[in-house]
């Protein structure tokens, strides 16, 4: 059976950065303190805010998110469909949406492998 991938799964994962998410001043301060166009700071941001959310998902759900990201990166998606539907606290706009997703994928792989070690 062939998997069908939904870009909305990625958008749901990134909801932690959305203005429509529950107000949390500490979270907002963390988000605006990072340069989302700097790969290291972006990875730090993901580590602080996205990792705990990602690890709530089941192992199967986490793998599906990883596979979904891989699929859309492999098919050359620009991720406009994700970024045009999300209002974030990022001080600057994301200049390279694909690079953002590549950093995200790298972090998700790391979280998944770290979780497997425990």
User: Could you tell me the mean pLDDT of each successive run of 10 residues in the chain, 118 residues long?
Assistant: 82 89 84 93 96 94 95 94 84 90 98 76
pTM for the whole thing? 0.91
For tokens 């998997």, the residue is 3
- Quote the CA–CA distance of 51 and 5 in Å, as a whole number: 21
What is the per-residue pLDDT for 116? 66
What is the per-residue pLDDT for 93? 85
> Domain residues of the chain, as ranges?
7-117
- Quote the CA–CA distance of 96 and 115 in Å, as a whole number: 29
What is the per-residue pLDDT for 118? 53
What is the per-residue pLDDT for 2? 62
Q: What burial class does residue 68 get, using C-beta atoms within 10 Å of its C-beta: 0-12 exposed, 13-18 middle, 19+ buried?
A: buried
The candidate with the shortest Cα–Cα distance to 52, out of 91, 86, 24, is 24
């Amino acid at each position: 059976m062939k998997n069908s991938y939904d870009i909305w799964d990625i958008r749901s994962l990134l909801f932690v950065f959305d203005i429509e998410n529950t107000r949390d001043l500490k979270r907002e301060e963390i988000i605006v303190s990072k340069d989302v166009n700097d790969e290291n700071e972006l990875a730090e941001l993901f580590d602080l805010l996205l990792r705990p959310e990602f690890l709530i998902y089941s192992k199967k759900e986490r793998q599906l998110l990883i596979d979904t990201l891989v699929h859309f990166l492999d098919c050359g998606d620009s991720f406009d469909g994700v970024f045009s539907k999300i209002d974030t606290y990022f001080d600057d706009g994301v200049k390279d949406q694909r690079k953002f997703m590549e950093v995200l994928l790298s972090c998700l792989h790391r979280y998944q492998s770290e979780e497997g070690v425990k």
